[in-house]
Amino acid sequence: MTDLEAWIKLSLAKGVGEETLKVLVQKFGSPRGVIQASGRRLRDVASNEIAENIRKCIDLDVGKHISLMNSLGVKLISFMGDEYPERLKRLPYAPPLLYVRGDLRDDEPSIAVIGSRRASHYGKVIAERFARELARVGLTIISGLARGIDTCAHRGALEENGRTIAVLGCGIDRVYPSENVYLMEKVIMNGACISEFPIGTYPFAGNFPQRNRIISGLSDAILVIEATERSGTFTTVKWALEQGKEVFAVPGNITQETSKGTNKLIMDGARPITCTQDIIDALKLDRIIEMRELPSLTEDEKEVYESVGNTPTHIDQLSISLSIPVSRLSGILLSLELKSAVRQLPGRYFMREQ
């Protein structure tokens, strides 16, 4: 039996929690040592039930697990191995095992960009922009591959060909949500996808608060873009505070449900952030965000661009405020879109691209 087989069998043994697994492996020197230990010796360390469950896992067939891992290029890294991130090793509740696709290392500097799955258009644009600009100056972007803010954070980093890490709440052989299958492959090429859960684990709701300690643990700081008052994002913030990490939050519209959580974070002491340079300065990284220059604009385009804000504005409202007929305004907005200066949203709403 190889160590890999032994690790997988132990991870599948019923009732063997993370801390118990670490204690057992340290006591017996290796995962194989645990598997090969007699029931009597196991009972000296663990309960009768756990000892019995470990004895039962000896006969588990993990061949399919290993074949699938090999086909996906998955590495299994244990808390005893040299490849295990030092940042996580220092945590008292670090997962004993990490399933990894891609290149996992101690990324410094790094920041977790997190927020609502039901993010507004504004929140998605800000998340993508912040992640893009932070990746541009060398920060690794860490998030959870979920819908909304997480997805936009990974995309923003990838737009700059920057490093990004996705921490999953399911087995690494699964993609959740399913529409992010292509994004997951891109993340693996430019960083890593990791999971503490065994192959085949479904994305159960209880997995996500647990995995959030890893998102925080791998990061220098946490940036919350949008969150409701009862958002799961707060579990990551809780872990961050326990780990002594800086928490940043983007202020939001007080009438928006997705801003109530971030605004409350600020009231409770999180540092308000209005641009990415604020984060660079707070982390004392001595870096300057180089803003992309706008392409050359005509006088008409400049006038319209100045009126289009960072929040969605309907074309009819722009037409009234600028005293420009909708038919003519549509052509100007199309030109600005082609120059990547503005973005059109569903329902003929427009907002600045940068």
Prediction pTM value: 0.83
User: CA 244: distance to chain centroid?
Assistant: 19
pLDDT digits (tens, 9 = 90+) for 97-117: 999 999 998 888 999 999 999
Q: How confident is the model at residue 292 (pLDDT cuts 50, 70, 90)?
A: low
All CATH 3.40.50.450 domain ranges in the chain, comma separated = 110-282
- Centre a 10 Å sphere on the Cβ of residue 264 and count the other Cβ atoms it contains: 15
Secondary structure of residue 77 in the 3-state scheme: strand
At residue 16, the pLDDT reads: 84
Closest alpha carbon to 259 in 229, 221, 235, 223: 229
pLDDT of 103 reads 94
CATH for 299-352?
A: 1.10.10.10
Q: Tens digit of pLDDT for each residue in 161-171?
A: 999 999 999 99
Tokens of 344: 């059109």
What stretch of H or E contains 103? Answer: none
Residue 19, pLDDT above cutoff 90:
no
Kind and range of the H or E run holding 259: helix 257-267
Q: How many CA atoms lie within 13 A of 334 on its CB side?
A: 6
Topology at the third CATH level for domain 1-61: DNA polymerase; domain 1 (1.10.150)
C-alpha–C-alpha distance, residues 123 and 249, integer Å: 12
Query: How many angstroms separate the CA atoms of 318 and 225, rounded?
Result: 27
The tokens describing 77, both together, are: 């890294």
Q: At what angle do helices 207-217 and 233-242 cross, to 10 degrees?
A: 40
Q: How far apart are CA 47 and CA 30, in angstroms?
A: 19
Contacts of 180 (CB under 8 A, 6+ apart): 145, 147, 151
The region of weakest confidence among 62-71, 224-233, 309-318 is 309-318
Longest dimension (CA), the chain: 86
What is the CATH T-level fold of the domain 110-282, as seen in this structure?
Answer: Rossmann fold (3.40.50)
What confidence score (pLDDT) does residue 18 get? 86
Token couple for 201 = 């684990």
| Residue 310 pLDDT > 80 | no
The model's confidence at residue 290, banded by pLDDT at 50, 70 and 90, is low
Print burial letters for 106-115: b (CB count within 10 Å at least 16), e (below 16): ebebbbbbbb
Amino acid at 42: L
Helix (H) or strand (E) segment spanning residue 246:
strand 246-249
**Closest CA relative to residue 158, chosen from 175, 174, 182, 176:** 182
| Segment 151-161 mean pLDDT | 94
Please determine, for residue 291, whether its predicted confidence score (pLDDT) is greater than 70.
no
Q: Which residue has the tokens 């737009």?
A: 159
Q: Where in the chain is the domain with CATH 1.10.10.10?
A: 299-352
CB atoms within 10 A of CB 29: 10
- Looking at residue 284, its pLDDT comes to 87
Token pair listed for 44: 């000296």
Rounded Cα distance between 69 and 212, Å, is 23
- The pLDDT tens digits for 239-283 are 999 898 999 999 988 888 888 999 999 999 999 998 888 999 999
Beta strands in 107-160 (DSSP E): 110-114, 140-143
> Mean pLDDT across the stretch 227-241?
89
DSSP-derived 3-state class of residue 225? coil
Q: What is the token pair recorded at 163?
A: 């490093």
State which amino acid sits at residue 28.
F
- Which pLDDT score is estimated for 247? 95
Listing from the earlier edge strand, what are the strands of the sheet with 110-114? Answer: 75-78, 97-102, 191-195, 164-167, 140-143, 110-114, 221-224, 246-249, 271-272
For residue 39, with 0-12 CB atoms within 10 Å meaning exposed, 13-18 middle and 19 or more buried, which class applies? exposed
